[in-house]
């Protein structure tokens, strides 16, 4: 049995069939190139350009983000420095206000002290005046008793002056 008879699917190879098949393949390749590979390559080039644009845009965005991040860091540092200055100024102001309150309290205490001393001096003067009046009254009593004993004027005057002098020294 030969191969043809054994397998009816196997046919004889002919050069003409091969040339037709090659021609059909070439036509198919030309059609694919024109209608499939051309648009596919165009889409691939567009896609490649699109990806390149996106990469470029991403790089620009990254650089811009880095600049913004650096700016934010600078602003945060500046805000911290300003906050520190504000706190320091607040401390200075509170210290200054405390000093002012303390100075005011000292002035008030000094004023109260001076007022108290003035009142004490006034009361002392009033007490001395009252005492002098009492001494005068006593002097008059002494004088009246002396008169009763009949002293002369010189002795009376001398006795009054000595009494006033003694009372003035005691004060």
> Which pLDDT tens digit goes with each residue over 85-132?
999 999 999 999 999 999 999 999 999 999 999 999 999 899 888 888
Counting DSSP H helices and E strands in the chain, the numbers are 4, 0
Give me the number of domains the chain comprises. Answer: 1
pLDDT at residue 1 greater than cutoff 50: no
Pick the most confident of 43-57, 133-147, 154-168: 43-57
Domain that holds residue 41: 3-170
pTM, two decimal places: 0.40
Say what angle helices 153-170 and 38-149 make with each other, to 10 degrees: 160
Residues 6+ apart with CB under 8 A from 151: 159
Question: Bigger pLDDT: 167 or 130?
Answer: 130
What is the rounded distance in angstroms from the CA atom of residue 132 to the CA atom of residue 170? 11
DSSP 35: I
pLDDT (average), residues 22-45:
87
């Amino acid at each position: 049995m030969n191969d043809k008879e054994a397998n009816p699917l196997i046919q004889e190879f002919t050069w003409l069939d091969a040339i037709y098949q090659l021609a059909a393949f070439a036509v198919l390749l030309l059609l694919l190139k024109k209608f499939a590979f051309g648009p596919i390559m165009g889409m691939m080039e567009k896609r490649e350009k699109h990806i390149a644009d996106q990469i470029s845009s991403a790089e620009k965005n990254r650089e811009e983000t880095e600049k913004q991040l650096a700016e934010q860091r600078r602003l945060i540092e500046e805000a911290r420095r300003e906050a520190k200055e504000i706190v320091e100024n607040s401390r200075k102001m509170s210290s200054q206000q405390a000093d002012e309150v303390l100075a005011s309290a000292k002035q008030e205490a000094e004023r109260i002290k001076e007022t108290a001393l003035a009142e004490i001096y006034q009361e002392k003067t009033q007490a001395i005046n009252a005492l002098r009046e009492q001494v005068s009254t006593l002097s008059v009593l002494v004088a009246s008793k002396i008169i009763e004993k009949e002293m002369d004027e010189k002795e009376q005057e001398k006795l009054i002056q000595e009494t006033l002098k003694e009372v003035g020294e005691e004060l």
